[in-house]
A and B are shown apart, each in its own frame.
Chain A
Amino acid sequence: MNAEHDSSDRITGTSINPVHNLIREKAIIMSGYGINSEMETRDALLRAGMDSDIVHINDLIAGRKHLSSYRLLVFPGGFSYGDDTGAGNAYANRIRNNLWKELKDFLARDNLVLGICNGFQVLVNLGIVPAFEKNYARDVALMPNRKGVLECRFVTIKPAADSLWTRDITSLSCPVAHGEGNFSCSDEILKRLREENMVAFTYCREDLSPAAGEYPYNPNGSREDIAGIISQDGKVLGLMPHPERAVEFVNLYNWPKQKELLKRAGKPLPDESMNMQLFRNIVRHFR
């Protein structure tokens, strides 16, 4: 068995045919200690045209794999360390205590980092978002949801500022599934996030009007409906909702109704959902 070969494709099957030829740049998707969305994240990237390796954090620490071989680093969703000591915190500690230099080098180059859900919680605890002046301080937090329990439901989010991540996106419709996604920060930090166009996505209603804090459109009580932010240099995106979990039309919450309406209007059914655009934007950045 070649250690360089990734065993994950055997579980998911290799039946997904990427629509384009794969770009040369590769993604590394972190796994281990209870991360669980690595496979669907890999599938979404593959569909968009980017290949990736799923790498256990211990293999990075042991030097069996190197961040420097990759251009995109993804912290996928999951329940690393069972959310004990704060969601994402223990995994962030493991990185900071073992891989900090390698990570800083990675961030210094022309690379991208994506954190989804538990991955966003890891980014926040590492301080690589918002990373003003690359200070890598913990300036924002994802607190427990206002309702105090994990909640899984589809939400609508829309871009709040232009960035490489949000190009051609009007809105995304995808699930949240977290117990700690309640975005929090000081007034001062919030002001900077706004002024420097670092709020990537906000929760909204289906008609794209602001959720204005109202449950369930804003599912967790996040300040100013913030669902995701980018780093000051724009190269790191963290968001709570899971676009990778609803990449096909039939993954959307109310697709059967939409299908009936499309069919009766004589229109064809889309194969993919709008959520794929986020992953296409990543590929476009490298292309």
Chain B
Amino acid sequence: MASNIHRIEVRYLSDPREKTRTGRIRSLGFPVDVLHLIDVYTIATTERDFSKDELLDIGGQLINPVIQEFTVDQATEATFDYAIEIGFLPGVTDNAGRTAQQTIEDYFGFLLSDNEAVFSSRLYLVSGAFSESALHEFIATLANPLINRVHVKSRTEYGDCGMDPVAPFVSLHERPMADIVDLDIDDHDLVRLGKEGIPDPVTKERRGPLALDLSQLHAIRDYFRSHGRKPTDIEIESLAQTWSEHCKHTIFASAMDDDLPDGLYKTCIQAATNAIRKERGSDDNCIAVFTDNSGAIVFDENYLVTHKVETHNSPSALDPFGGALTGIVGVNRDTIGFGLGAKPCINVYGYCTGDPKTSPSLYRSKNRKNPILPPRRIFEGVIHGVGVGGNCSGIPTPQGWCYFHDRYIGKPLVFAGTVGVMPRLFAGKMLHEKCARSGDYIVMVGGRVGKDGIHGATFSSEALDPASPVTAVQIGDPITQKKMSDAIVKEARDEDLYSSITDNGAGGLSCSVAEMARECNGCHVLLDRVPLKYPGMAPWEIWISESQERMTLAVPCEKLDEFLELMSRRDVEATVIGDFTNNGRCVVEFHGEVIMNVTLDFLHNGLPKKHLFTSRVCVTYPNPEISCPDRLDDILIEMLARKNICSKEFISIQYDHTVQGGHVLGPVQGRGRVQADATLTKVVPGSQKGVGLSQALFPEYTEIDPYRMAIAGIDTAIRGLVAMGIGLETIALLDNFCWCSSDDPERLWQLKQAAFGCYDGATAFMTPFISGKDSMFNDFSGYDNENNPVTISVPPTLLISSIGIHRDVTKAVSIDAKCEGDLIYLIGPTGDALGGSEYYSHLGFRGNTVPGLNPDQARKRYDRMTSAIEKELVASAYPINRGGLLIACAKVSIAGDIGMEVFIPDDVRPDYYLFAETPGRFLVTINPDNRSVFEEIFGNDARCIGQVRGRRLRVEGESLLLDLPLSEIADAYREPFRGY
């Protein structure tokens, strides 16, 4: 290992962040007086040592002398009580270290060798009266033991010498060969093999879950028996990846009960899309559905847009920042990997977590070992991860949401999605079509392969339990990916240098290569050619590693030189790792020896079929029996401050939502800055058209009525787009099922009902599903303080995302009330069902009836809305959702920074009328001059309920119900997350 180690410590002369940072940590309850932050670069070399002068030159390159200073091999001097240094564990992606290394290499004009590197770490010098336990808790807020190494010294220990130099090189001693695995063992041992993994032949340690059940292991055993040999470890690992729930979606694909022999996906999701496309005929706006990495619809005659939403739940529970970052840069690759490569142009996000103000004591292991991360840590970590991913990649992130529920404490749900744009035709080629051909080279492009994320695909198919593998954690490197993405979608694609491309995501090469091999019917991989982050990995690890920032391409022989040369000029690593064949087999060689040789047919179709059975859930939840309060002032203030209703603007402004220059209707709207549920972005400069995006979910409804839950999600996601002026005929949907305990027949019954809702909702609005993903085991099992086993399952959650095309963005409508004297309309009928509503929840009830929707009426209403906006009759439009009419009035009013006077009918129960979440409704304001034309369009479906006026929100029914100054409701809306 490195024999010469030097430390360069960089500090600000006066750190502008110090006040905010110290204040923040104090607000978490730590007795911090001052917190200095020092950036440390550790330079470790073997072949050549740097002289003192050279090290001073290096230091000069790593700072701006106007604001920073540095020391070389000398401890930073400061007044403090504890020094805490936090670096990365060996093998964890260290972006800052790598940048420093490139700068140094560039400066001296030579490259460091494989066993030399620059590592970054951060040194916190803290003053304050910390108890030992407080210090440990404090460190836990800075470092994650799964990815970070921590060294602590007291002031005395720090002395004059400071911290010790540490160079975290990876040292691996895996067997560099494939092992034979004996499946001729009894069923009990086979089950264990499936659950815990293949035992290492030397150490006997299990390698981590395969997530293969007994029938699947039998199928594998029988296949190899019939070929007269035993399988290798890489063959079994490869099959486990390809057959994982994550990749094959067995629960959606399997026959269910007696009525769904073809399974939920074909019967409910795909069938809805097929039916819609057939009925639309020549007006079909779908280009590619369910077949590729993303779904695609028509943008205009020249362009198409793609959309895909993924989840990254299990990794985010363990390392929220890394998990979420990997989630967003991963779904970006689903865009780059669509067709011949679409350009990512919009990111979206969604987070389901526990209440960040709570800190439940739960552990993954007995005896209070392996505590779960507190909800705030998860919440802030995932926010940061998606932010860094989007910001560093230059992709705007305008659209997203948060939803809090105490059943997400064990496992958060992290949704990340990306929209892409691509010309439909270029140089005579349809860019959404691709096909690897026999004889094409298999080329891996982008980052190198390490132990990151091994067993990611199988791991996310299993519930999170004490044995969750630590190598499931990955940290993305958005800049490496940005370089790769630019080189591919901005250059190589249009120079026609490859014939197919796909992303390396779950299952790594084992899935991407085998998937592309279907296009030409075979592949031959030389696994020892794959560039590694560090030596000593076993072949099965290289094959299934989920190291990030990689794409696999099929490059024709005659294009190879040009392709490799271009990648080299763009500083993007590209390596030929084999070729595509047509012999029907997936063959993998390692140093001249064939270690995998299975038919593609078995790999992709050998998975034994299942038949699932469901069992109806029969529960009733009592409706509240409380009378309506006389006045609703206090309740409105409390409702506005509810976590699922109040402002989370701090997230919207951390995310660059203006890059690429397409901002039209952003995440925050109006002078009064209210978060909108739908956004509008231009993606093709010079075009009048724009891409509208929205998302909706109603997890609180699922336990009561999963069918209506799905309908409400579809309706709300669509309605957000309609309110901006987007016509139904351009809208498409995406589904993300995040279920729990999906081996439980009752959960499967809920799933089936939700899937029926998806079919009915999509076909009613004629909005096809174009892409979807599921994550079926979002359960946490662990222990409480007293070692009692605890299982917490997420509420079955269905996220519906919508995408639609605005024909003329200059006519788009925002949510904020505009002018004094404008008329306020409620469009659509209000029902009396409040089951699952925020209001019931606020009162401590769930209720038994979820609001329903008449989709035929709704569809007519939405068409009228589109036409009213097209005629420019609407000044503001808000899709009424969580919290109902009153919350809508408050938000529209706050956004416009102008008051409202609202009158509701005498014959309704005011609180129910005002807080019902009946789908299908809009709150609209219009210029009074447009009154008659507007009313003519909507007839009695629109009811004038008041006027925009003054600086107060005032609601009257039979008597005065509410009268509050605008400033007070605005404060209530903004207060809960102040300080985040």
Residues B661 and A245 in contact, CB atoms below 8 Å apart: yes
Q: In the complex, what residues of B have CB within 8 A of residue A98's CB?
A: 106
Complex Cα distance A79/B876, Å? 36
A173 to B103 Cα, complex, angstroms: 36
Contact mask for chain A residues 134-164; partner B; CB cutoff 8 A; 1 contact, 0 none: 0000111101111111111100000000000
Given A79-B479, A82-B478: A62 in contact with B569 (beta carbons within 8 A): yes
Q: How far is the CA of A257 from the CA of B814 in the complex (A)?
A: 9
Instruction: Decide: A146 near B671, CB < 8 A? Known: A93-B103, A250-B664.
Output: no
Asked whether any CB of chain A lies closer than 8 Å to the CB of B426, the reply is yes
Q: Are A13 and B654 in contact (CB under 8 A)?
A: no
CA distance A266 to B477 in the complex (A): 52
* A256-271 with Cβ < 8 A to chain B: 256-257, 259-261, 263-264, 269
Residues of chain B in range 1-45 having any CB-CB distance to chain A below 8 Å: 12, 15-17, 19-21
CA distance A182 to B64 in the complex (A): 13
Cα of A251 to Cα of B398 in the assembled complex, Å? 13
Q: Which one of A20-28, A36-44, A67-75 contacts B?
A: A36-44
Interface size of B by CB at 8 A reads 85
B residues less than 8 Å from A125 (CB atoms)? 64
* CB of A242 closer than 8 Å to a CB of B: yes
Query: Would A85 and B103 count as touching, CB distance under 8 A?
Result: yes
* A274, chain B: closest CB distance, angstroms: 15
Indicate with 1 or 0, residue by residue over B648-675, a CB within 8 angstroms of chain A CB atoms: 0000111111111111111001110000
User: Residue of A at shortest CB range from B343?
Assistant: A11
- On chain B, the residues within 8 Å of A184 by CB distance are 16, 66-67
- A259: which B residues are within 8 A, CB to CB? 810
Residue with the highest number of chain A CB atoms closer than 10 Å, among B16, B393, B570, B927: B16
Does the CB pair B661–A86 fall under 8 Å?
no
Q: In the complex, which residue of chain A has the Cβ closest to the Cβ of B660?
A: A40
Q: A11-B490, A84-B96 are in contact. Are A246 and B663 (CB under 8 A)?
A: yes
> Are A85 and B99 closer than 8 Å at their CB atoms?
yes
Residue interface bits B784-816, CB-to-A below 8 A is 1, else 0: 000000000000000000000000011011101
Contact A85 B107 (CB under 8 A): no
Q: How far is the CB of A230 from chain B (nearest CB, A)?
A: 18
A33 to B481, CA, bound (A): 10
Q: Are B426 and A10 in contact, CB atoms less than 8 angstroms apart?
A: yes
Q: A90: CB under 8 A from chain B? A: yes
Q: How far is the CA of A244 from the CA of B662 in the complex (A)?
A: 10
Chain A interface SS verdict (over half): mixed
Nearest CB on B from A166, distance (A): 22
> How far in angstroms is the closest Cβ of chain B from A86?
6
Residue of A nearest to B875 (CB): A260
Whether B392 is near chain A, meaning CB under 8 Å from some CB there, is yes
* Interchain nearest-CB distance for B69 vs A (Å): 12
Q: Are B20 and A148 in contact (CB under 8 A)?
A: yes
- Return chain A residues, CB-CB under 8 Å to B392: 34, 79, 82-83
For B656, the chain A residues whose CB sits under 8 A away are: 150, 152, 177
Contacts A56-B570, A93-B106, A246-B663; A15 near B490 (Cβ below 8 A): no
> B65: which A residues are within 8 A, CB to CB?
138
Across the interface, which residues of B come within 8 angstroms of A13, CB to CB? 302-303, 423, 684-687
Q: Is the CB of A175 within 8 A of B20?
A: no
Which residues from chain A contact B896 at a C-beta distance below 8 Å?
257
Kindly identify, within residues 461 to 481 of chain B, every residue whose CB is under 8 Å from any CB belonging to chain A.
477-479
A269-B810 contact, Cβ under 8 Å, with A1-B495, A10-B494: yes
Contacts of A247 in B (CB 8 A): 661
Mask of A253-287 contacts with B, CB within 8 angstroms, 1/0: 11011011101100001000000000000000000
Bound Cα distance A246, B687 (Å): 15
Q: Please determine whether B20 and A147 come into contact, CB atoms closer than 8 angstroms.
A: yes
Give the contacting residue for B99; candidates A37, A43, A84, A261; CB below 8 A.
Answer: A84
Q: A13-B302, A35-B394 are in contact. List 9 more A-B contacts (CB 8 A).
A: A32-B483, A32-B570, A58-B569, A89-B61, A89-B62, A138-B66, A151-B654, A152-B653, A245-B663
18 residue pairs A–B, Cβ–Cβ below 8 Å: A7-B494, A8-B490, A13-B686, A34-B479, A36-B660, A58-B569, A84-B98, A85-B61, A138-B65, A141-B66, A147-B17, A152-B652, A152-B653, A152-B656, A177-B658, A221-B16, A242-B658, A250-B810
A-side residues, CB < 8 A to B, are 1, 7-8, 10-13, 15-17, 31-37, 39-40, 43-44, 56, 58-59, 62, 77-79, 81-86, 89-90, 93-94, 97-98, 124-125, 138-141, 143-153, 175, 177, 182, 184-186, 221, 242, 244-251, 253-254, 256-257, 259-261, 263-264, 269
